[in-house]
């Protein structure tokens, strides 16, 4: 299974194995990563699973749909070039080793 490292704002790291097809949001919630709220449960409705992904992986991520793009504009923390909604990024083998940072607020 691909491995993903989540880094909380406190600096605490979680190295977790994620099954193929799971989303970054699901991986965070199931593994008790703090700072991912995911209020709507992965429906791309609330923008509370905002993450910053490692720049080295940007071109390997699934493309961003327009609705995710618009939701990110309304996210609570600063939007950056590497901002994604965790619920919209599904794990593939190409993402093995991905590092994900959690923003300071959701």
DSSP 94: G
Q: Is 64 exposed, middle or buried (0-12, 13-18, 19+ CB in 10 A)?
A: middle
Residue 106 parent element (H or E): none
Site stretch for other proteins (CB under 8 A), options 6-14, 18-26, 49-57, 97-105: 18-26
CA nearest neighbour of 31 among 13, 47, 43: 13
Asked if residue 10 binds other proteins (CB under 8 A), the reply is no
- Each residue 30-69 as x (binds other proteins by CB under 8 A) or -, in order, gives xxx-x----xxxxxxx-x-------------------x--
Residues that contact other proteins, how many (by CB under 8 A)? 22
Which residue, 90 or 101, has its beta carbon nearer to other proteins? Answer: 90
- Each residue 65-94 as x (binds other proteins by CB under 8 A) or -, in order, gives --x--xx-xxx-------------------
DSSP 87: G
Q: How far apart are CA 105 and CA 52, in angstroms?
A: 12
Contact residues for other proteins, defined by CB under 8 A: 22-23, 26, 29-32, 34, 39-45, 47, 67, 70-71, 73-75
């Amino acid at each position: 299974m691909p491995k993903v490292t989540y880094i909380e704002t406190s600096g605490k790291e979680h190295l977790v194995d994620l099954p193929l097809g799971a989303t970054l949001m699901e991986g965070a919630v199931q593994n008790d990563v703090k700072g991912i709220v995911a209020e709507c449960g992965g429906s791309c409705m609330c923008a509370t699973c905002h993450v910053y992904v490692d720049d080295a992986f940007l071109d390997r991520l699934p493309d961003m749909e327009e609705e995710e793009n618009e939701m990110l504009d309304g996210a609570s923390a600063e939007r950056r070039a590497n901002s994604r909604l965790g619920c919209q990024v599904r794990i593939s083998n190409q993402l093995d080793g991905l590092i994900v940072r959690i923003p300071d607020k959701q």
